[in-house]
Structure 1
């Protein structure tokens, strides 16, 4: 680089000015534009975020479009803007030295049209603006999906030059970068930019000869959750509510099990259709997957409960009379707990009456003395036979009444257990949903602290 002498524009022509520029700086792309090589080149960095194109949770990638601004000085370059007629000129980028500034998180090619020029001012200040299609790696935490907030980084540093050769600085405050990005943001997709932070890590002097200087920008993104709430959470809540109220259907009069199986089938189809909307990563599952699994598990448990209750209510035909401890515990204590009164059967028979009738119909003692006595004994014998037949009929009726009473007890046991499990279902459902909401809020506040 030649000494700091101003350009000679005395001829007043553009050709003479460009000839002098070419002679001074053209083709010197191999070394930094400094007079002494021990002098580091200061690069000022800034950018504007124009769009958030995509966030790939499975591949942990962030797809954005940036306009990157780089500023540095060419030592020894200056001219008089009044004499030369301009205070800046555009020059071919490939003819000048350019800093090898990269974004560390880059994982793909920059697929944007190439720009060919940059500006050089009369003080030797270089302004280089370039578009970048940045596909960068980002550690995405989707546990609180769809209410997740992501913090991705853009780390600017030289590819080769250490701190002794190239030093980086912020061209403008990060608040201004954020404001410019808000104004330039052209996309209104699933993600929105909520905040931006920046820092320059401190590098110890003893590491300057082996470490590159760097600038770190933290990009805070928030997912727009309305689509997922409407299409995923609300339908799931509706279906689990329908399953909850299906307990009000009487299992003996309505085929409740068929209704619940239809509900489970519909929810399974719903999950299959909505599966593409759920993010997928390696070992981390979002909390919403636990929510869906819980809803499906509750529906299956509800179906199993219905099968169990129907089996109990028809248990009298298979299991005989209700055991005494079951009758005492469930029909007395648990029935009062679930506010279900035990109905008393009015089809009971009095065994003492049978005994009394049986005793009243005993035959006369002794032998008959006359024809009238013989007639009386014959009448008593007929009455005795009739009484025996009536007693047999009454015993059959009593047996039938006892069978009906046993069936009523099994039916009442089924009602008691059904109402008890219904209460437990409501309690478990409420506790589970409240727990999931609390976990959602805790993680959301934890990630929202990044804003």
Structure 2
């Protein structure tokens, strides 16, 4: 009894499987010709292209995917998109479909894509319509294996990091998965490995512009949402920009102009030629930035480091011009200024002067005597007539009114002054006053000297900042370039 029931159950299971298989079964070609094969395919397969070729709906249809990158068209920093050309290969199995190679005359046949059920595999990051040429056919093998190979021009969203432009490395993602079917209906299976995809892509790549494909990583995963789970495969593309174009056209000319502006500090600060020279450099640098503006990335997400470098360079040039104007003004008008404020004198002349290795000048003890131009009254003849030879003969007792022991002989009457001598004396006093006035004009007083020293310290400080900025910029550029070339996957 039990054996009979088992036999009946086996027959029922066989009948159910036959019903589930439907009409898709092995093809019997009447002759080994293409016409006979397609007649059988149209009869057994093409009429059922609206349903998935899976007899047991409780099991998912496995779709194997592989890609090959054949072109890196470029990136749009402002739109945050990446444009690539890839070959997409999809493979799946039609259950119950087969034919004999000898009976039908071929192992595989190309059939119209519209005549088969094709999985709705799309790229999750797509941002624009695919404009690549359409391939209307797929390969169908005698084992029921379907091979679908087609090109795709993908404009995908990519979060670009351009802070280190033009030495940046971008990581963009292409996520493949069924758009409607859940993981229980369509399961994505990884085909070729990441190393195989990278090797084949480098061998067949046709257009990469300014980018190098340096790495590919493949990660299969399930995207869990409220309505269900989706099977997806993510391809992470690592691309490195070729920086030589930007180094030659942007960085090197900018460094040349900054170096020329640095050497302009060798010109005398009080010279007008220094101001005009710096103004010409600023004009040339501005024109250079306007011409090369198209090479710079335009994005509102992150400011590239090279833009900061150009802005700081222009700011230093403008600051050096303003500082030159200030020093020139101080050199020519310092005598008309009031005393330097105490806080400014302490900050600049005491501390900043030491920082720039320019110690303040020591104050001199020399006293400048200004002669009065008015004629001095002549001394009394009695006093002028006393010579130093008579001084030892005068004792302390003489000061008390005692008569001298040896009375002096009477003084001769004063001689009549010579007018020529008086004129020469007046001329000597006038020339001395003129000489002192001219010397005071050129040397300046203490206030003007402090203002001039203030300008010299500021000029030396700006020169030091220029040198530090150039050294830091040079070290930063070289470090980022080395890191870019030594980047490992």
Please classify the TM superposition score into its range, dividing by the shorter chain length. Answer: 0.7 to 0.9
**Matched residue, 2:143:** 123
Mapped to 2, the partners of 1:73 and 1:61 lie a distance apart of: 35
SS in 1 for 2:82: strand
**Matched residue, 1:132:** 152
Segments of 5+ residues of structure 2 without an aligned counterpart are: 1-20, 386-410
**Matched residue, 1:406:** 444
Spell out, residue by residue over 1:269-304, the C-alpha distance to the aligned partner (whole angstroms, 9 max, x if none).
111111111111124211111000000011011111
2, 27, 34: which is aligned to 1:7? 27
Q: How does 1:51-66 map to 2 (within 5 A)?
A: 51-66=71-86
Q: How does 1:54-93 map to 2 (within 5 A)?
A: 54-93=74-113
Report which of the two structures shows the higher radius of gyration computed on alpha carbons: 2
**Matched residue, 1:261:** 279
The reply to whether residue 298 of structure 1 matches residue 298 of structure 2 is no
CA contact (8 A) 2:337 2:447 kept: no
CA contact (8 A) 1:261 1:303 kept: yes
Spell out, residue by residue over 1:321-361, the C-alpha distance to the aligned partner (whole angstroms, 9 max, x if none).
9999969x95999499646897999x997779x9xx979x6
232, 240, 254: which is aligned to 2:250? 232
The reply to whether residue 192 of structure 1 matches residue 192 of structure 2 is no
TM-score, scaled relative to structure 1: 0.84
Mapped to 2, the partners of 1:87 and 1:235 lie a distance apart of: 64
Spell out, residue by residue over 1:83-127, the C-alpha distance to the aligned partner (whole angstroms, 9 max, x if none).
322111111111111000001111111112221111011110000
Spell out, residue by residue over 1:416-435, the C-alpha distance to the aligned partner (whole angstroms, 9 max, x if none).
74365334433454257526
**Matched residue, 2:292:** 274
Q: How does 1:159-174 map to 2 (within 5 A)?
A: 159-174=179-194
Mapped to 2, the partners of 1:423 and 1:176 lie a distance apart of: 58
Give the C-alpha shift of residue 194 in structure 1.
Answer: 1.0
Are the structure 2 counterparts of residues 104 and 436 from structure 1 closer, same or farther at C-alpha, using a change threshold of 3 Å?
farther
Once structures 1 and 2 are overlaid, which stretch shifts more, 176-185 or 382-391? 382-391
SS in 1 for 2:417: helix
- Superposition RMSD in Å: 3.9
CA contact (8 A) 1:145 1:287 kept: yes
SS in 2 for 1:200: strand
Segments of 5+ residues of structure 1 without an aligned counterpart are: none
CA contact (8 A) 1:362 1:384 kept: no
CA contact (8 A) 1:320 1:406 kept: no
238, 251, 260: which is aligned to 1:242? 260
The reply to whether residue 364 of structure 1 matches residue 370 of structure 2 is no
Mapped to 2, the partners of 1:398 and 1:196 lie a distance apart of: 84
Q: How does 1:193-212 map to 2 (within 5 A)?
A: 193-202=213-222, 210-212=228-230
Mapped to 2, the partners of 1:11 and 1:335 lie a distance apart of: 103
154, 172, 177: which is aligned to 1:152? 172
Mapped to 2, the partners of 1:67 and 1:337 lie a distance apart of: 63
**Matched residue, 2:388:** none
Are the structure 2 counterparts of residues 248 and 197 from structure 1 closer, same or farther at C-alpha, using a change threshold of 3 Å?
same
Mapped to 2, the partners of 1:298 and 1:332 lie a distance apart of: 22
SS in 1 for 2:230: coil
CA contact (8 A) 1:243 1:263 kept: yes
Mapped to 2, the partners of 1:384 and 1:422 lie a distance apart of: 53
378, 388, 391: which is aligned to 2:416? 378
CA contact (8 A) 1:90 1:117 kept: yes
Once structures 1 and 2 are overlaid, which stretch shifts more, 185-194 or 258-267? 185-194
Give the C-alpha shift of residue 412 in structure 1.
Answer: 8.9
**Matched residue, 2:51:** 31
